[in-house]
Amino acid sequence: MYKYRYEKGQSTDSTFILLHGTGGNEEDLLPVAAALDAKANVLSIRGNVLEDGKARYFKRLRKGQYDVSDLMTRGQELYAFIEEKAEEYQFSLEEAIYLGFSNGANIAMNMMLLEDSRINKGMLYAPMYPLDVEEVVDLPNVKVFLSMGENDPIVPRRESERVIAIFKDLGAEVTEFWVDGHELNGDNLLAGKEWLAKIQ
Protein backbone atom coordinates (compact mmCIF):
# COMPACT_ATOMS: atom_id res chain seq x y z
CA MET A 1 0.00 0.00 0.00
CA TYR A 2 2.77 2.43 0.93
CA LYS A 3 6.42 2.62 0.00
CA TYR A 4 8.39 3.34 3.12
CA ARG A 5 11.78 3.20 4.76
CA TYR A 6 12.43 2.05 8.29
CA GLU A 7 15.73 2.62 10.04
CA LYS A 8 16.31 1.23 13.50
CA GLY A 9 18.16 3.66 15.72
CA GLN A 10 20.12 3.26 18.91
CA SER A 11 17.24 4.53 21.04
CA THR A 12 14.25 2.41 21.98
CA ASP A 13 12.30 5.40 23.28
CA SER A 14 12.20 7.72 20.28
CA THR A 15 10.74 7.09 16.83
CA PHE A 16 10.08 9.63 14.08
CA ILE A 17 7.19 9.12 11.67
CA LEU A 18 8.23 11.20 8.64
CA LEU A 19 5.64 12.58 6.23
CA HIS A 20 6.92 14.56 3.25
CA GLY A 21 5.46 17.49 1.33
CA THR A 22 3.82 17.33 -2.12
CA GLY A 23 6.22 15.87 -4.66
CA GLY A 24 8.49 14.40 -2.02
CA ASN A 25 9.36 10.85 -1.10
CA GLU A 26 10.46 8.71 1.81
CA GLU A 27 14.06 9.97 1.55
CA ASP A 28 13.33 13.71 1.89
CA LEU A 29 13.08 14.12 5.65
CA LEU A 30 15.70 11.60 6.73
CA PRO A 31 18.37 14.33 7.15
CA VAL A 32 15.89 16.33 9.26
CA ALA A 33 15.31 13.38 11.61
CA ALA A 34 19.07 12.80 11.84
CA ALA A 35 19.63 16.45 12.75
CA LEU A 36 16.93 16.33 15.43
CA ASP A 37 17.94 13.04 17.02
CA ALA A 38 20.52 10.83 15.31
CA LYS A 39 19.75 7.94 17.66
CA ALA A 40 16.02 7.75 16.99
CA ASN A 41 14.20 5.09 15.01
CA VAL A 42 12.72 6.38 11.75
CA LEU A 43 9.66 5.31 9.77
CA SER A 44 9.43 7.43 6.64
CA ILE A 45 6.40 6.91 4.40
CA ARG A 46 5.76 7.96 0.80
CA GLY A 47 2.30 9.27 -0.05
CA ASN A 48 0.35 6.98 -2.38
CA VAL A 49 -1.71 9.62 -4.21
CA LEU A 50 -0.36 11.20 -7.38
CA GLU A 51 -1.23 14.74 -8.45
CA ASP A 52 0.38 15.62 -11.79
CA GLY A 53 2.91 12.90 -11.06
CA LYS A 54 3.73 14.23 -7.60
CA ALA A 55 3.26 12.10 -4.50
CA ARG A 56 0.77 13.27 -1.87
CA TYR A 57 -1.13 11.68 1.00
CA PHE A 58 -4.65 12.64 -0.09
CA LYS A 59 -6.47 14.15 -3.03
CA ARG A 60 -7.52 17.76 -3.38
CA LEU A 61 -9.99 19.40 -5.73
CA ARG A 62 -7.69 22.39 -6.23
CA LYS A 63 -5.04 24.18 -4.22
CA GLY A 64 -6.42 24.95 -0.78
CA GLN A 65 -9.56 22.84 -1.32
CA TYR A 66 -9.35 19.30 -0.01
CA ASP A 67 -11.27 16.27 -1.14
CA VAL A 68 -12.66 15.80 2.36
CA SER A 69 -13.92 12.26 1.87
CA ASP A 70 -10.56 11.16 0.48
CA LEU A 71 -8.69 12.90 3.31
CA MET A 72 -10.74 11.11 5.96
CA THR A 73 -10.38 7.70 4.29
CA ARG A 74 -6.67 8.01 3.65
CA GLY A 75 -5.97 9.41 7.10
CA GLN A 76 -7.51 6.30 8.64
CA GLU A 77 -5.66 4.04 6.19
CA LEU A 78 -2.31 5.67 6.93
CA TYR A 79 -2.91 5.50 10.67
CA ALA A 80 -3.73 1.79 10.39
CA PHE A 81 -0.54 1.25 8.37
CA ILE A 82 1.53 3.00 11.04
CA GLU A 83 -0.14 0.85 13.72
CA GLU A 84 0.90 -2.26 11.78
CA LYS A 85 4.50 -1.05 11.48
CA ALA A 86 4.62 -0.15 15.17
CA GLU A 87 3.73 -3.75 15.98
CA GLU A 88 6.13 -5.15 13.38
CA TYR A 89 9.10 -3.03 14.45
CA GLN A 90 8.18 -2.84 18.13
CA PHE A 91 7.99 0.90 18.72
CA SER A 92 5.48 2.86 20.80
CA LEU A 93 2.73 4.76 19.00
CA GLU A 94 2.23 6.95 22.05
CA GLU A 95 5.89 7.96 22.17
CA ALA A 96 6.39 8.36 18.40
CA ILE A 97 6.95 11.86 17.01
CA TYR A 98 4.95 12.65 13.88
CA LEU A 99 7.00 15.05 11.77
CA GLY A 100 5.29 16.39 8.68
CA PHE A 101 5.98 19.13 6.18
CA SER A 102 3.16 20.82 4.21
CA ASN A 103 0.96 18.01 2.84
CA GLY A 104 2.61 15.64 5.31
CA ALA A 105 1.77 18.01 8.16
CA ASN A 106 -1.83 18.13 6.99
CA ILE A 107 -2.31 14.35 6.99
CA ALA A 108 -0.52 14.15 10.35
CA MET A 109 -3.00 16.66 11.76
CA ASN A 110 -5.88 14.61 10.38
CA MET A 111 -4.56 11.49 12.13
CA MET A 112 -4.09 13.42 15.38
CA LEU A 113 -7.78 14.35 15.25
CA LEU A 114 -9.03 10.79 14.79
CA GLU A 115 -11.30 9.72 17.61
CA ASP A 116 -9.15 6.72 18.53
CA SER A 117 -5.79 8.38 17.85
CA ARG A 118 -2.85 7.46 20.06
CA ILE A 119 -0.65 10.24 18.71
CA ASN A 120 0.76 12.41 21.49
CA LYS A 121 3.59 14.30 19.77
CA GLY A 122 3.53 16.25 16.54
CA MET A 123 5.98 18.50 14.71
CA LEU A 124 4.04 20.18 11.95
CA TYR A 125 5.85 22.42 9.48
CA ALA A 126 3.64 24.68 7.29
CA PRO A 127 0.35 22.93 8.18
CA MET A 128 -3.08 23.89 6.88
CA TYR A 129 -6.46 22.43 7.83
CA PRO A 130 -9.33 24.43 6.30
CA LEU A 131 -12.04 22.11 7.60
CA ASP A 132 -14.61 22.33 10.34
CA VAL A 133 -13.50 20.24 13.30
CA GLU A 134 -16.12 18.74 15.55
CA GLU A 135 -14.99 18.72 19.15
CA VAL A 136 -15.38 14.97 19.52
CA VAL A 137 -11.79 14.52 20.66
CA ASP A 138 -9.86 15.97 23.57
CA LEU A 139 -6.12 16.35 23.27
CA PRO A 140 -4.93 17.08 26.82
CA ASN A 141 -1.95 14.73 26.47
CA VAL A 142 -0.89 16.03 23.07
CA LYS A 143 2.14 18.25 22.61
CA VAL A 144 2.53 19.90 19.23
CA PHE A 145 5.20 22.10 17.66
CA LEU A 146 3.82 24.27 14.87
CA SER A 147 6.12 26.10 12.45
CA MET A 148 4.32 28.58 10.21
CA GLY A 149 5.18 31.31 7.73
CA GLU A 150 4.43 35.01 8.21
CA ASN A 151 4.42 35.41 4.41
CA ASP A 152 3.69 31.86 3.32
CA PRO A 153 2.51 31.99 -0.34
CA ILE A 154 0.58 28.72 0.08
CA VAL A 155 -0.85 28.96 3.60
CA PRO A 156 -2.43 32.35 4.46
CA ARG A 157 -1.70 33.58 7.98
CA ARG A 158 -5.37 33.22 8.94
CA GLU A 159 -5.12 29.50 8.12
CA SER A 160 -2.00 29.15 10.28
CA GLU A 161 -3.79 30.85 13.15
CA ARG A 162 -6.74 28.54 12.58
CA VAL A 163 -4.50 25.49 13.06
CA ILE A 164 -3.22 26.97 16.32
CA ALA A 165 -6.77 27.60 17.50
CA ILE A 166 -7.93 24.06 16.66
CA PHE A 167 -5.22 22.48 18.80
CA LYS A 168 -5.63 24.94 21.67
CA ASP A 169 -9.41 24.55 21.69
CA LEU A 170 -8.98 20.78 22.02
CA GLY A 171 -6.63 21.17 24.97
CA ALA A 172 -3.28 20.40 23.34
CA GLU A 173 -0.06 21.98 24.55
CA VAL A 174 0.98 24.19 21.62
CA THR A 175 4.38 25.68 20.82
CA GLU A 176 4.39 27.96 17.80
CA PHE A 177 7.33 29.24 15.79
CA TRP A 178 7.17 31.66 12.89
CA VAL A 179 9.42 31.85 9.85
CA ASP A 180 8.98 33.86 6.66
CA GLY A 181 7.63 31.47 4.05
CA HIS A 182 6.63 27.88 3.28
CA GLU A 183 9.81 26.30 4.49
CA LEU A 184 11.72 23.95 6.70
CA ASN A 185 15.01 25.70 7.38
CA GLY A 186 17.77 25.97 9.95
CA ASP A 187 15.79 28.27 12.22
CA ASN A 188 12.65 26.18 12.59
CA LEU A 189 14.70 22.99 12.67
CA LEU A 190 16.71 24.31 15.63
CA ALA A 191 13.53 25.50 17.35
CA GLY A 192 12.04 22.05 16.86
CA LYS A 193 15.12 20.41 18.34
CA GLU A 194 14.90 22.66 21.40
CA TRP A 195 11.21 21.79 21.76
CA LEU A 196 12.00 18.07 21.59
CA ALA A 197 14.61 18.42 24.32
CA LYS A 198 12.00 19.98 26.61
CA ILE A 199 9.27 17.39 26.13
CA GLN A 200 11.39 14.23 26.24
147 labelled catalytic: no
Catalytic residue among 14, 102, 147, 160: 102
Q: How far apart are CA 92 and CA 121, in angstroms?
A: 12
Catalytic residue among 14, 28, 44, 182: 182
Cα 119 from chain centroid? 10
182 labelled catalytic: yes
Catalytic residue among 14, 37, 147, 152: 152
Instruction: Write the DSSP assignment of 88-109 as a string of letters.
Output: HHT--TTT-EEEEETHHHHHHH
102 labelled catalytic: yes
- Nearest Cα neighbor of 4 from 16, 12, 13, 14 is 16
How does strand 54-56 pair with strand 15-19? unpaired
Where in the sequence numbering do the catalytic residues fall? 102, 152, 182
